[in-house]
């Protein structure tokens, strides 16, 4: 799962190409907005609260369980602090 995907279209494409080579997997993106270009290229995407929201972590955990996600790739530095504390 790629968090705060925003305009990182090239990153989504790179991950999707790697997944094709491996033969399995999906790119799932999250963003606080509902117009993030990278999300529209993802295999699936979710709108989530901003990283400083008290509901941010629980939203990510819900998505991880629902989608059976095993890796999170944060794209915003402020997310690193929030994720590292949980």
Predicted confidence (pLDDT) per residue in 54-65, tens digit: 999 999 999 999
**φ, ψ of residue 31 in degrees (nearest 5):** -160, 155
Distance of CA 8 to the CA centre of its chain: 11
For residue 1, what pLDDT band results from cuts at 50, 70 and 90?
very high
State the pLDDT at residue 86: 65
- Quote the CA–CA distance of 81 and 34 in Å, as a whole number: 24
């Amino acid at each position: 799962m790629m968090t705060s995907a925003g305009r990182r279209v090239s990153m989504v494409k790179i991950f999707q190409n790697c997944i094709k080579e491996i033969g399995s997997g999906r790119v799932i993106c999250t963003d606080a907005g509902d117009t993030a270009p990278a999300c529209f290229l993802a295999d699936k995407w979710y709108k989530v609260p901003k990283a400083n929201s008290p509901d941010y972590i629980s939203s990510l955990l819900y998505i991880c369980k629902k989608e059976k996600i095993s890796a999170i790739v944060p794209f915003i530095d402020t997310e690193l602090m929030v994720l590292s504390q949980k």
